[in-house]
Structure 1
Amino acid sequence: MSESLWARPASDLLRSTASADPTPGGGSIAAITGAFGVGLVQMAVAVTGDPALEAPAARLAALRAEIEPAADGDVQDFGALMAAYRLPRTTDDERAARSREVERASIAATERPLALVESFVAVLALSHELEPVVKPGVASDVLAGRDIVVGAARAAVRTADINIDQLDRLGSAAAAGLRARRDAASAAVEEQL
């Protein structure tokens, strides 16, 4: 991918998302929308302007910095997975090498959305701490940001799910551990509601 999703006009990004193109897909859009949700919480903190909120403001900035790269990362992961599927499979050695590469790419394409969900959980926890201490006029932005992050987290779980299912079909030893991580992350999101 030559251009970051973040550099594209919103109208172009939406058009691409709604097209038959495989990317940007659920993982990328989860990262983008989730980052905007974080941005709303950050705005509420900035408007409040309380020096006592410097530490949570810094934590939100760090979390957003973790989340943003997942948009382009998801596109890269998809590309790597498609490249693995295109590997030759004429001989036994080629089939074995292709299978290993598909598994490796599927694991990477699962780990990124799971890390995204884990970052979102941290944002959600902070949003609960911040809601009662921001100015009343911007508390709704904390709530709106939280709602957006919850939706983005659930979307990222969906992205992980399809890859975990693929790893199950491949008989990957990594599938069980990734499924347990998925279940824990998904439960953590729901606990923040």
Structure 2
Amino acid sequence: MNEGYEEVLRAIASSDPTPGGGSVAALSLAHAQSLAVMVARLTVGKEKWADGHKMADSIISKWGSKIDFAIGLAEKDSDAFDRVMEAYRLPRSDEMENELRKSSIREATMGAAQAPFETATEALDLLSDIEPFIHSCNSNALTDLASAAELSGSAVKIASMNVRINLDFIEGEDVDVLSKSLDVVVGESSTKLESIRSNVSERLGWK
């Protein structure tokens, strides 16, 4: 572990509210992506795992380039929270200022909900790619791929809580749409994660 990694952990452990849960969800996604790519690299080029080469190449190409994007989502989440706090600090000495403050709070809060929603959808996408790869990856790294799936599932769960806590403060049709979309993401990710767990156990002879 390098010093930069330790600095991130110390920043999370500080009394500053950012980086918080939403950022940790995105970092969990980045770890999941990294593990999935590692397993893919351990699968390609080995004749024993020839059935998994095509899928492994796809995972390396797609998710290897998205690790930086996930890290960016962690920063985006922290920035979104900061904008909410800035909106709450706006003056409200008259009706015009009060209305501007209300609209700014709503806009910032919706932004704070959309950031972790993006993390959740990315994590679901990764689960969708891990699910079939479970059957053909290098079996010596199967538990690593299962770990990537568990991290993806955690990213969805953590991110979803951060979406919902923000949506609790605002109302509107866009809120309802985002809430329903989140329900779909959470439901699909749960189904895929259970399928992955079952197939991992079966391939390892644990059931």
**Same fold? TM cut 0.5:** yes
Q: Which residue of 2 aligns with 1:42?
A: 37
Structure 1 outlier segments of 4+, above 4 Å: none
Q: Which residue of 2 aligns with 1:156?
A: 159
* Contact kept in structure 1, 2:36 and 2:59, CA below 8 Å: no
Q: Does 1:58 align with 2:61?
A: yes
**TM norm structure 2:** 0.83
Give the RMSD, CA atoms, in angstroms: 1.7
Change beyond 3 A, Cα 1:71–1:15: same
Residues 130-157 of structure 1: CA deviation (Å, up to 9, x unaligned) = 1121111111110011111111111011
Amino acid at match of 2:57: E
Alignment of 1:18-167 (within 5 A): 18-50=13-45, 51-52=53-54, 53-167=56-170
Q: Which residue of 2 aligns with 1:3?
A: none
TM superposition shift of 1:173: 3.7
Aligned residue for 2:17, secondary structure, equals coil
Alpha-carbon distance between aligned partners in 2 of 1:173 and 1:34, rounded to the nearest angstrom: 29
**TM norm structure 1:** 0.89
Alpha-carbon distance between aligned partners in 1 of 2:3 and 2:157, rounded to the nearest angstrom: 24
TM superposition shift of 1:11: 2.3
* Contact kept in structure 1, 2:29 and 2:123, CA below 8 Å: yes
Amino acid at match of 1:99: K
Mean Cα deviation higher: 102-111 or 180-189? 180-189
Kindly tell me the number of residue pairs found equivalent between the two proteins.
Answer: 184
Q: Which structure 2 residue ranges, 5 or more long, are not aligned?
A: 46-52, 194-207
Q: Which residue of 1 aligns with 2:10?
A: 15
Alpha-carbon distance between aligned partners in 2 of 1:117 and 1:190, rounded to the nearest angstrom: 12
TM superposition shift of 1:16: 2.2
TM superposition shift of 1:14: 1.8
* Contact kept in structure 1, 2:120 and 2:156, CA below 8 Å: yes
Alpha-carbon distance between aligned partners in 1 of 2:8 and 2:59, rounded to the nearest angstrom: 31
TM superposition shift of 1:57: 2.2
Aligned residue for 1:20, secondary structure, equals coil
Aligned residue for 2:19, secondary structure, equals coil
TM superposition shift of 1:42: 0.5
Aligned residue for 2:169, secondary structure, equals helix
